[in-house]
Structure 1
Amino acid sequence: MHDQNHRLLTSNRILRQAEAVARMGAWELDIEADQMKWSEGTQAVFESSRTGGGTLKASMKGYEPADRREIEERCEKAIESGTPFDIETDLLLGEGKRKRVRLAAERVEADGMHPARLVGVVQDVTESYRARMALHHAAEHDSLTGLYNRFAFDRTLQQRLSEANGTGEEVAVLLIDLDGFKDVNDVVGHIVGDIILKEVGEHIAKATPEGGFAARWGGDEFAVVLPPQTGSKQARAIGKQLLEQLRYQSDISGHLIEMGATAGLAIGTSGTSVKELVRRADTALYHGKKRDPGKVHVYEAGLEQGNVARQYALNEVRTAIREDRIFPAYQPVVELRTGRLVGFEALMRITSRMGRRITATEVFPALIDPFLSREVSTCMIEQVANEFVALKRSEPALEFVSINASEADLLASGFAAQLMAQMREKRIDLSRITLEVTETMLLVDNAQAVRRVLTELRDNGVSIALDDFGTGYSSLSHLRDFPIDKVKIDGSFIQAMANDQHASKIVRALIGMASSMGLSVIAEGVETATQSRLLQQMGCELGQGFLFGHAEDLGQLTLGRYGDGERRSLSSAAA
């Protein structure tokens, strides 16, 4: 008896220690008497000195009201059928305190000494529950703004679309992109940029109507699923309100920061996938950013035409680079008075897989892509360098070859060194190379970097030509601020001047101004002998256009395209 009592005492102590460590306790319900008994561990969980909880119904009072009926039903079912249960709920304590507890129980049948009982355990799982909730929150929320993340957005949008498929309702999605945020990071740094993004997230959360769902899409883009049954007109109004909330102006460290946002709106119907709906909203946003930022732009099927053209251009140029189908075609630049060929402009051409020649205009969207434009420039510079000797041999009087630069070229580190190294490797005098730039390239944020590149090239002998001269907003300041040697008057003025006195006066003024500054003038787009004569009368020296020849590849040029007979025809055309 003594040994048994000792073992029992030891077991009870171990049980109490286990209960304390696991933050759990045991309980039992005498089914017939409807009376509860609690262990010390249960008392600790409930923070109560009572050894019992009274009746089953009375013991329910401590649990979350929304869960009480379910717990009671689980207990009744376990009593009647012996079905065990395991459930989590909130335990409500005094002064607003609550715990998360796990409750499990099963029926034990009566024996000769004890009545039928419902026995179970209650465990304080508050810490593990909070850890799980934190992990769940982290998995679905953006750590910076506190909004839902892209994963949660996709899941919620899929759920809304699935519900819409059953009811026929429309689902509206807004994609929002901040305007001018890149300038914020460049001027005041990413730390301040993150603070602003956090504020933006708060504004979007407040402005999202009840039933909506806001998420950070990535970077400075946000996405909002609007409430069910939101029509197009109402969706635009909500989007407008959101954009008004995101107008930002502040003086940070002496810098005036101004920022806004543009939105793309798409509305899905039965059968629309998440990917397709988001793509439509993104298409509307992309076109809106380019054409009219700061507003809500609704997706229309017509927007796809531009998108399809862009994808065609990107794919065509990518495959042409990979398959070595890009080549330079050389259009002549002639002396207007004599028709003498003095130079070529190297224009990018692509031979399609079907053998058709594709011009730069047809794939223009790809040529403004910063990555592809650099790859195209690299191909063109390399081929011009390789073909220069053959060009010179075909045209001994050749004075220069022009190569077009892209904005990405001028902003890329090492572009000037790369161009000069390739020419020197082929022993080409850099004074025979002209680099053509457009006015839009001189309007980039980092104009100082562009000026450094152009100055480095010019100091080493490369001539700099300003293309499309006269079409920009600040041509005169460009001539003052950048190292320009030549100007190329845009062809639209040349083709209009015979019938438009204003165009004629503009051309005359541009020629006079450039000449007075010691700059060479090349008239582009010369297509008729009348245009050539008018340009000569105005004092223009050089011309380029279909009147003097189309762009030809090296093979055609070396066949004598500009032999003596051709020169005579150019001379007569110039006259």
Structure 2
Amino acid sequence: MSERGDDAASVLADLDEALGIAQLGLWTWAAGSQVMTWSPALYAISGQDPATFTPTIENTIAMVHPDERASALAKLQAAAEGESGGSDYRIVRPDGEVRHLWVKMNPVLEDGRIVAVRGVSADVTERRKTEARLAESEANYRHALELNPQVPWVADATGNILEVSPRWREWIGLNAEETAGLNWIDALHPDDYARTAESWTQSVKAGAPVDMRYRLKTKDGEYRWFRARGAPRRDDSGAIIRWYGAVEDIDEQVRMETALRETEERYRLAALATNDLIWDHDLVSNHIAWNETEGTRFGYATAELGDSGTWWLDQIHPSDRERVRDAIAAVSSNGAEQFVEEYRFRCADGSYADVYDRGYIQRDGDGRAVRLVGAMQDVTERKRATAALMDSQARLRWGATHDALTGIANRVRFQEVLAEAIAAVPEDRCVGLVQLDVDGFKQINDTLGHDAGDAVLRTLVRRIGELLRPGDTLARMGGDEFAIVLPSLGRPEGLEKVVERIQTLMREPFVFEGHTLDCRTTIGSSLSPHHGRTPEELLKSADIALASAKAAGRGQHVTFDPAMRVSLQHRNSMLNVARDALAYDWIVPHYQPKVVLADGRVAGFEALLRWRDSRGVFHGPGTLGAAFEDLELAAQLSDRMFDRCIADMRRWMDEGVDFGHVALNAAAAEFRRDDFAEGLIERLRAADIPTDKVQLEVTESVFLGRGAEYVERALRRLYDVGVRMALDDFGTGYASLRHLNQFPVDILKIDQSFVQGMAANSGEEVIVRSLVNLGQSLGIEVVAEGIEEEAQAEMLRRLGCHYGQGFFFAKAVPAEAVPGLIAARR
């Protein structure tokens, strides 16, 4: 390079360094294209790495804050049309930091034609922060002056008022001259005069600080409470020179104090009138305060009750203590609003009383439980009376019509109550019937045991019981199935409100032996006479609504609609077909090739479920749709497909057929089995098939909803042994990019809706190009689905997509046709 070239390079380097120090970035956009050039300083400002980031108009606009992106694009387009201008924008750096830029842009002309837009971007983040802090400081100072509730005053050494704030006149109606000296005392309430004058005189005489509360007559003739505080200023010899102080309006505070004293007195009297022992537990200090009692509670005088949570726990029966301790410990983590427990409490004489303890939880700003306030109720006699009743003849009737575990009505009593309610309902009212199942109940029993399941059922009964009206009936129909009869509802909307309250209450978890358990429910409901005039018709309608709610997803509520009968029949038909297909061995996998777009060679296959009916006609998986939502049937269909596909792969390997790989599809329901990954790995090991011969295809719905924790564990287990993961129908989900980061994904499959719309819609082509670029940026293979025409294949090749799949190459074929198809494509 020449000396002049060296000088120019040095000048450019100095310029780049100067721009970096000044936080000024230069850029140029070739108008109408994706091409952009950035100065080194702009990479530093935006936080991008020049080694890995190539600026384009698309990814540059993508850095602009979403709220300002449209405006930035419009300004840029305006510059390309000849306008100049400057604006402020926010950008979001890769690390998530938001920076403020001032951007100035001008069109670049050549031969009178605009060929580019050139701009300068200045990082003004710190300036904007400083401006915001200054504005906030000024506002704070202004409001502090405006809202100051105090009136300053100055008095001489003997206590005579010399100066007082103008606000004094606003309050009292006396000007400075009328207030001077001791004249301000004339505004005192007669009942406060002697006490205030004496206190003021003593403070002045002793030189002690002033702190007085008194009532002053305001200019509207009313008396208000004020607080006056002051302190003397002394000279070097200690002699008082001046008094300085302030008067504050505390009328509202005094009124609140008075109201609080009255409330506390009412509370004290109410506590004396009840047999409950009221407590206040500070969870931070573990201190417990008890209400003052006349006489004793549980044999203890107030002074004999311990003042700590430790003492209280020590008095609980050893068999109940751990459960209650766990319930207290869980208060902070489960978000509950109430603490409710029953336990046995040791009385002063050593005996134990049965206690129903209920408290309300107070939380701090971070949601941590800091305080519990409640009452212990002695229910010993009530329990004894109940036991005596159960020992009588009535116990036989109770046992025949009630559930032994929960104590509520059983199916027999439910039938009686429902029939009575329908027979007695007035013409202008209706009867509501609610059917509900506990979500995930079988899983709780299987993983934690029946004691945990029983605890869930008892908790459900207790919570729903708190919501029901007198006359409503909650019944256990069997297992985790419950029903509620709501007689004499005024309007159908009343049923919806009851269900909403139930669902809200059921969302609150609880702790059993250290485990946090859910008792959320799926609910179906019906109304008489709208959905049935007999108990049988109404119950059938509620059953159908419950089935529809389960089909829609756990935790749902569905009210019966006549159209549901048809939907249920269709669903049941699909389930029956799926059972028949399994029972009669009708499941036959077909294989659709995935080809290398560059030369049409077969890279691998996707296994697709087909079933052959008794006439030999093949059907697709859509005719079994409901079966894939059923945990048991989905698992059986998956197992059958996996077994058949693994057998086909083993046979091809034995015959020397190079089939590449086979992609197996897995539905969301299958991942709810905690051993899904282990089952597939064991199948491959038993057939001696390398794991790199298998891919697993999942849709984004697998990552959502219940059981997501099983999905991540299963995918990572399979990924660790070499099974590759493909995300199917990519681009149609709402959170695909997040899932690419969270789960081990090797392959993206572009949904066929985008591929088939490319030729007619440039927007679809942009989406496909973006998805291909995304895959290349992340090092992820991209497969385009649904290719049906040569033009689509050619367009995908041009966009850089490596693999394709669709009818243009081949339809799905049975296993025996795979070797011939591979040969033909080769």
Please, what TM-score do these two structures have when normalized by structure 1?
0.65
1:452 equivalenced with 2:709 (yes/no): no
1:406 equivalenced with 2:654 (yes/no): no
List per-residue Cα deviations over 1:81-103 (Å, max 9, x = no partner): xxxxxxxxxxxxxxxxxxxxxxx
Runs of 5+ consecutive residues of structure 1 not aligned to the other structure: 1-125, 569-575
For 1:308, what is the secondary structure of its paired residue?
Answer: helix
Contact 1:486 1:519 in 2 (8 A): yes
Contact 1:145 1:202 in 2 (8 A): no
Which residue of 2 is the match for residue 354 of structure 1? Answer: 615
Which residue of 1 is the match for residue 220 of structure 2? Answer: none
Runs of 5+ consecutive residues of structure 2 not aligned to the other structure: 1-386
Distance 2:813 2:415 in 1: 52
1:192 positional shift: 6.3
Matched residue type, 1:174:
V
Contact 2:531 2:560 in 1 (8 A): no
Matched residue type, 1:415:
F
1:202 equivalenced with 2:465 (yes/no): yes
Contact 1:216 1:222 in 2 (8 A): yes
For 2:392, what is the secondary structure of its paired residue?
Answer: helix
Distance 1:356 1:272 in 2: 45
Match of 1:215 among 465, 468, 475: 475
What are the within-5 Å matches in structure 2 for residues 26-65 of structure 1? none
- Sequence identity (%): 33
Question: For the structure 1 residues 418 and 201, does the alpha-carbon distance in structure 2 shift closer, same or farther, using more than 3 Å as the test?
Answer: closer
Which residue of 1 is the match for residue 800 of structure 2? Answer: 539
1:510 equivalenced with 2:774 (yes/no): no
1:399 positional shift: 1.1
1:520 positional shift: 0.9
Contact 2:432 2:525 in 1 (8 A): no
Which residue of 1 is the match for residue 497 of structure 2? Answer: 240
Which residue of 1 is the match for residue 172 of structure 2? Answer: none
Which residue of 2 is the match for residue 520 of structure 1? Answer: 781
1:158 positional shift: 4.7
Please, which moves more after superposition, 410-419 or 188-197? 188-197
Matched residue type, 1:205:
L
Matched residue type, 1:227:
P
Question: For the structure 1 residues 184 and 196, does the alpha-carbon distance in structure 2 shift closer, same or farther, using more than 3 Å as the test?
Answer: farther
Distance 1:425 1:296 in 2: 45
Q: How many residues were matched structurally? A: 432
Question: For the structure 1 residues 129 and 376, does the alpha-carbon distance in structure 2 shift closer, same or farther, using more than 3 Å as the test?
Answer: closer
Contact 1:265 1:296 in 2 (8 A): no
Distance 2:531 2:495 in 1: 22
List per-residue Cα deviations over 1:247-285 (Å, max 9, x = no partner): 227686798989687442243589966454323212223
For 1:153, what is the secondary structure of its paired residue?
Answer: helix
Which residue of 1 is the match for residue 595 of structure 2? Answer: 334
For 1:344, what is the secondary structure of its paired residue?
Answer: strand
Matched residue type, 1:196:
T
1:362 positional shift: 1.4
What are the within-5 Å matches in structure 2 for residues 58-207 of structure 1? 130-143=391-404, 145-158=406-419, 163=423, 172-176=432-436, 193-194=456-457, 196-206=459-469
Match of 1:308 among 569, 572, 588: 569
Distance 1:153 1:251 in 2: 28
Matched residue type, 2:639:
T
Which residue of 2 is the match for residue 371 of structure 1? Answer: 632
Question: For the structure 1 residues 360 and 144, does the alpha-carbon distance in structure 2 shift closer, same or farther, using more than 3 Å as the test?
Answer: same
Question: For the structure 1 residues 159 and 473, does the alpha-carbon distance in structure 2 shift closer, same or farther, using more than 3 Å as the test?
Answer: same
Contact 1:343 1:398 in 2 (8 A): yes
Match of 1:495 among 750, 756, 765: 756
Question: For the structure 1 residues 267 and 501, does the alpha-carbon distance in structure 2 shift closer, same or farther, using more than 3 Å as the test?
Answer: farther
Contact 1:247 1:261 in 2 (8 A): no
Matched residue type, 1:216:
R
Distance 1:411 1:176 in 2: 22
Which residue of 2 is the match for residue 462 of structure 1? Answer: 723
Contact 2:441 2:453 in 1 (8 A): no
Distance 1:293 1:510 in 2: 33
Matched residue type, 2:693:
R
Distance 1:322 1:428 in 2: 27
Distance 1:407 1:535 in 2: 30
Matched residue type, 1:235:
P
List per-residue Cα deviations over 1:39-90 (Å, max 9, x = no partner): xxxxxxxxxxxxxxxxxxxxxxxxxxxxxxxxxxxxxxxxxxxxxxxxxxxx
Contact 1:511 1:538 in 2 (8 A): yes
Distance 1:151 1:465 in 2: 52
1:145 positional shift: 4.8
Distance 1:267 1:398 in 2: 62
Distance 1:395 1:272 in 2: 69
1:172 positional shift: 4.7
Matched residue type, 1:427:
D
Contact 2:430 2:492 in 1 (8 A): no
For 2:773, what is the secondary structure of its paired residue?
Answer: helix
Distance 2:651 2:509 in 1: 59
Contact 2:646 2:687 in 1 (8 A): yes
For 1:383, what is the secondary structure of its paired residue?
Answer: helix
1:383 equivalenced with 2:623 (yes/no): no
Contact 1:239 1:296 in 2 (8 A): no
1:182 positional shift: 9.7
1:350 positional shift: 0.9
1:234 positional shift: 1.6
List per-residue Cα deviations over 1:93-141 (Å, max 9, x = no partner): xxxxxxxxxxxxxxxxxxxxxxxxxxxxxxxxx9899533112212212
Over aligned residues, Cα RMSD in angstroms? 4.0
For 1:402, what is the secondary structure of its paired residue?
Answer: strand
1:203 positional shift: 2.9
Distance 2:635 2:798 in 1: 40
Distance 2:416 2:544 in 1: 21
Distance 1:184 1:271 in 2: 35
Question: For the structure 1 residues 498 and 256, does the alpha-carbon distance in structure 2 shift closer, same or farther, using more than 3 Å as the test?
Answer: farther
For 1:345, what is the secondary structure of its paired residue?
Answer: strand
Contact 1:526 1:544 in 2 (8 A): yes
For 2:491, what is the secondary structure of its paired residue?
Answer: helix
1:170 positional shift: 7.5
Contact 1:240 1:296 in 2 (8 A): no
Matched residue type, 2:435:
L
Distance 1:246 1:363 in 2: 31
Question: For the structure 1 residues 297 and 436, does the alpha-carbon distance in structure 2 shift closer, same or farther, using more than 3 Å as the test?
Answer: closer
1:411 positional shift: 3.6
What are the within-5 Å matches in structure 2 for residues 558-569 of structure 1? 560-564=820-824, 567=825
Matched residue type, 1:225:
V
1:267 equivalenced with 2:528 (yes/no): yes
1:413 positional shift: 4.0
Distance 1:476 1:140 in 2: 56
Contact 1:436 1:466 in 2 (8 A): yes
Question: For the structure 1 residues 354 and 388, does the alpha-carbon distance in structure 2 shift closer, same or farther, using more than 3 Å as the test?
Answer: same
1:400 positional shift: 0.6
Contact 1:411 1:450 in 2 (8 A): yes
Matched residue type, 1:131:
S
Question: For the structure 1 residues 347 and 301, does the alpha-carbon distance in structure 2 shift closer, same or farther, using more than 3 Å as the test?
Answer: same
Question: For the structure 1 residues 464 and 473, does the alpha-carbon distance in structure 2 shift closer, same or farther, using more than 3 Å as the test?
Answer: same
Contact 2:476 2:483 in 1 (8 A): yes
For 2:813, what is the secondary structure of its paired residue?
Answer: coil
Please, which moves more after superposition, 140-149 or 334-343? 140-149
Contact 1:174 1:239 in 2 (8 A): no
Which residue of 2 is the match for residue 76 of structure 1? Answer: none
Distance 1:245 1:308 in 2: 29
Contact 2:661 2:695 in 1 (8 A): yes
For 2:808, what is the secondary structure of its paired residue?
Answer: coil
Distance 2:706 2:531 in 1: 45
For 1:355, what is the secondary structure of its paired residue?
Answer: coil
Matched residue type, 1:421:
E
Which residue of 1 is the match for residue 296 of structure 2? Answer: none
Contact 2:532 2:538 in 1 (8 A): no
For 1:173, what is the secondary structure of its paired residue?
Answer: strand
